[in-house]
Amino acid sequence: MIRTKELAFDYIRRDEEGNVESVTRALDDININVKQGDFVAILGANGSGKSTLAKHLNAILMPTEGEVWVNGIKTTDEDNLLEIRKNAGMVFQNPDNQIILTVVEEDVGFGPENLGVPTKEIWERVEKVLKSVGMLEFRKDSPNKLSGGQKQRVAIAGIMAMKPKCIILDEPTAMLDPVGRKEVIATARELNKKEGVTVILITHYMEEVTGADVVFVMDSGKVVMTGTPRQIFSRVDQLKQFRLDVPQVTALAHDLRKKGVPLPEGILTPEEFEEAFTRACDARGGAI
Amino acid sequence: MSIIFDHVTHKYSPGTTMEKTALNDVNLVINDGEFIGLIGHTGSGKSTLIQHMNGLLLPTSGTVYVDGEDISEKDYSKKMLRSKVGLVFQYPEHQLFEPTVVKDVQFGPRNLGLKPLEIEYRSFEALKNVGIGDDLFDASPFELSGGQKRRVAIAGVLAMKPKVLILDEPTAGLDPAGRDEILGLISDIHKKTGITVILVSHSMEDVANYVDRIIVMNAASVVLEGPPKAVFTYAKELEGIGLSVPQVTQITRDLANKGFEISPDCITLEEAGEELLRVYRQRKGIPG
Ligand SMILES: Nc1ncnc2c1ncn2[C@@H]1O[C@H](COP(=O)(O)OP(=O)(O)OP(=O)(O)O)[C@@H](O)[C@H]1O
Ligand SMILES: Nc1ncnc2c1ncn2[C@@H]1O[C@H](COP(=O)(O)OP(=O)(O)O)[C@@H](O)[C@H]1O
Ligand SMILES: [Mg+2]
Ligand SMILES: [Mg+2]
């Protein structure tokens, strides 16, 4: 679905005369392979290159070196630009900047209208996607009446209405309250499970990626760790080197384990913790 | 500095069809030197509330007193108020407008009419404190990653050395290490200088770790206030208004409900770790 080969990207800063002042290598030798239908999370420090990588997946940016394929099409293939953009839709951080029109359903229909989709089909799509993000009852409302989480779900619906194969969420929950965050993540997982859409989620909240199929960790423009959430979050000390952390519950289990409580590494959710802790307390035999 | 809200109501576009009551009869006392956490769902009125503290917004009715003075009085100096009450905005990109990072941070101190050397010293100190290296001093703020922008915006306010420091979701978009660094820095400044700090946050974990008192907003009103331990006993109510409790609080409460003799109001990782270890050892007959 998404494949990069030796991808590198430089941001080049020039002075008024156009002479190169400085070069920032934001991506450096990225080789990733994402299967159709995967739920992928990307973690990494500020400035590690996550957004730059995301912008390569729908051809907002073009590689300085190497190649990017999305759904079998190379992103530098200019004749297919529209196809690439259609295949990979992006949702950003700020819920207030992404909704353009004054009625929810019109905003969601805006994308397919631009693609030249016939009117009847636009309305069918709008209804379907609003339903799948749980926002159908707000279709006639003004977006500025909605909570941040609801606005983000409308933004996701707007992308889904273009029937992308892949949706890229660049910190979609950074500005949201805890319940709004849960809504957005649940919506993304639902679309991934039910509609088979490939999801790429960038976030700084560790507990949001526990349900991902694959996690990539980036550092200084490189992918430095790849694995399942359990594999990644078992390596607490290594993550800290990359300015990351583990979910609070994982840290709790890790600390207790160091003090002799027999809990497995890589516990990801409160439910798992409670079960493992109960088992540890009930197990036969005293001290270990 | 103390801040008092006396029956403060704020309406956006009053008297029009767009009228929106963002604060509804708010009464509040913030004492000199407190570290306050302000939480509430998106759109509950947090940003509107704090903009009344430095005179960016004035009450539609009611009174805001800063150090005993009514800030709506005609001859009250807004300029003086803003030099004492520093506000880091929610969207840092709205706060950055100078051509380079250093100039941006110097903007505030320069407006205070400080000597050039003092301006330079304060800006370098502030940038160092927020973790921006000198390689970025001459970069344009627009070329920074999201997290870097936020750090620069915080540095700009720190360089003014305000008496009251208000931060509107300062850690949104920061990597986990950056979150700890910025909050650690703010906490240090609070301890060393005794200034009043008001932290708006969607991270229940952060609020639990750092603040003395939490103020909870819902739909334009203050609905709950008190020390973190007291506020986080209202898990159900908090969830009903878009909020939550820290993961470790959920775990200790669940385990207490399942019959473990465990204090149900642990709100930090350390507390929960100690409590669970004690319970485990007790069950196993291991001397603590
Ligand atoms: N428009 C730009 N011009 C020049 N340099 C840029 C530009 N955008 C980003 N950079 C630089 O490229 C690097 C990677 O930035 P990117 O925005 O991809 O980081 P990120 O991982 O998304 O960070 P964050 O978590 O803060 O959003 C950083 O060093 C950043 O300063
Ligand atoms: N400049 C504005 N004009 C009109 N309405 C606004 C403006 N700013 C905020 N509001 C509205 O006031 C309410 C409170 O918003 P805000 O203070 O930004 O909440 P929070 O910071 O808690 O998310 C919301 O309904 C919001 O839509
Ligand atoms: Mg980014
Ligand atoms: Mg706000």
| Lining residues, ligand 1, CB within 6 Å | A 11, 24, 26, 44, 46-52; B 143-148
Per-position pLDDT tens, chain B of length 288: 899 999 999 999 999 988 889 999 999 999 999 999 999 998 899 999 999 999 999 999 999 999 999 999 999 998 889 889 999 987 766 777 889 999 999 998 998 889 999 999 999 999 998 889 999 999 998 888 777 888 899 899 999 999 999 999 888 888 999 899 889 989 988 998 899 999 999 999 999 999 999 999 999 999 999 999 999 999 999 999 999 999 999 999 999 999 999 988 899 999 999 999 999 999 888 876
Sequence length of chain A is 288
Please name which of B47, B39, B52 lies closest in space to residue B3, comparing C-alpha atoms: B52
Whole-prediction pTM: 0.90
Tell me the domains of chain A and their CATH numbers: 2-229 (3.40.50.300), 247-288 (no CATH)
pLDDT at residue A86, rounded to an integer: 84
Read out DSSP for B229-286?
HHHTT-HHHHHHTT----HHHHHHHHHHHTT----TT--SHHHHHHHHHHHHHHHHT-
Architecture per CATH, B1-76+163-228: 3-Layer(aba) Sandwich (3.40)
Whether the CA torsion B171, B270, B38, B160 is positive or negative: it is negative
Residues 28-87, chain B, touching A (beta carbon < 8 A): 40-43
Residues of B in contact with A147 (CB under 8 A): 41-43, 242
Instruction: Check CB contact under 8 Å for B251 and A243.
Output: no
Residue B43 CA to ligand 4 centre (angstroms): 7
Instruction: Check CB contact under 8 Å for B242 and A171.
Output: no
Q: How many other C-beta atoms are found inside a 10 Å radius of the C-beta of residue A282?
A: 8
Rounded to 10 degrees, what is the CA torsion of B208, B210, B215, B217? Answer: -70
Confirm or reject contact between B273 and chain A (CB < 8 A): yes
pLDDT at residue B288, rounded to an integer: 65
Instruction: Identify which of A13, A46, A286 has the shortest CB distance to residue B175.
Output: A46
Q: How far apart are CA B271 and CA B253, in angstroms?
A: 13
Instruction: Identify which of A47, A248, A256 has the shortest CB distance to residue B276.
Output: A256
The domain spans of chain B are 1-76+163-228, 96-161, 246-288
Identify the segments of chain A with pLDDT beneath 70. Answer: 284-288
Residues of A in contact with B284 (CB under 8 A): 281, 286-287
Decide: residue A209, CB within 10 A, 0-12 exposed, 13-18 middle, 19+ buried: buried
pLDDT at residue B22, rounded to an integer: 94
Residue of B10, B16, B48 to test ligand 2 pocket, by largest number of atoms within 8 Å of CB: B48
pLDDT at residue A144, rounded to an integer: 80
Residue of B nearest to A182 (CA): B242
Q: How far apart are CA A129 and CA A89, in angstroms?
A: 14
- 8 Å CB contact between A256 and B273: yes
Give the residue from B136, B276, B286 with the most A CB atoms within 10 Å of its CB, the best one to mutate.
Answer: B276
Confirm or reject contact between B18 and chain A (CB < 8 A): no
Instruction: Check CB contact under 8 Å for B172 and A252.
Output: no
**Is the CB of residue B12 below 6 angstroms from any atom belonging to ligand 2?**
yes
- Shortest distance between the Cα of A242 and any Cα of chain B, in A, equals 9
Confirm or reject contact between B255 and chain A (CB < 8 A): yes
Instruction: Check CB contact under 8 Å for B174 and A278.
Output: no
- 8 Å CB contact between A162 and A122: no
Tens digit of each residue's pLDDT (9 = 90 or more) over B187-211: 988 998 899 999 999 999 999 999 9
User: What type of residue is B19?
Assistant: E
Read out DSSP for A122-157?
HHHHHHHHHHHTT-GGGTTS-GGGS-HHHHHHHHHH
- Shortest distance between the Cα of B101 and any Cα of chain A, in A, equals 15
pLDDT at residue A285, rounded to an integer: 56
Instruction: Check CB contact under 8 Å for B280 and A277.
Output: yes
- Which residue's CA is the closest to the ligand 1 atom numbered 4? B143
Residues of A in contact with B246 (CB under 8 A): 248
SS3 A8: strand
Strands (E), B61-174: 61-66, 69-70, 85-88, 164-168
Q: How far apart are CA B152 and CA B132, in angstroms?
A: 7
- Which residue's CA is the closest to the ligand 2 atom numbered 6? B12
Structural tokens at position A212: 């991902």
Instruction: Check CB contact under 8 Å for A178 and B243.
Output: yes
φ and ψ at residue B29, rounded to 5 degrees? -125, 125
pLDDT at residue A287, rounded to an integer: 46
Tens digit of each residue's pLDDT (9 = 90 or more) over B32-89: 999 999 999 988 999 999 999 999 999 999 999 999 999 999 999 988 898 899 999 8
Residue of A7, A10, A11 to test ligand 1 pocket, by largest number of atoms within 8 Å of CB: A11
- Shortest distance between the Cα of A174 and any Cα of chain B, in A, equals 5
This model of the complex carries an ipTM of 0.89
Which residues are found with C-beta within 5 Å of the ion, ligand 3?
A 51; B 146
Confirm or reject contact between B254 and chain A (CB < 8 A): yes
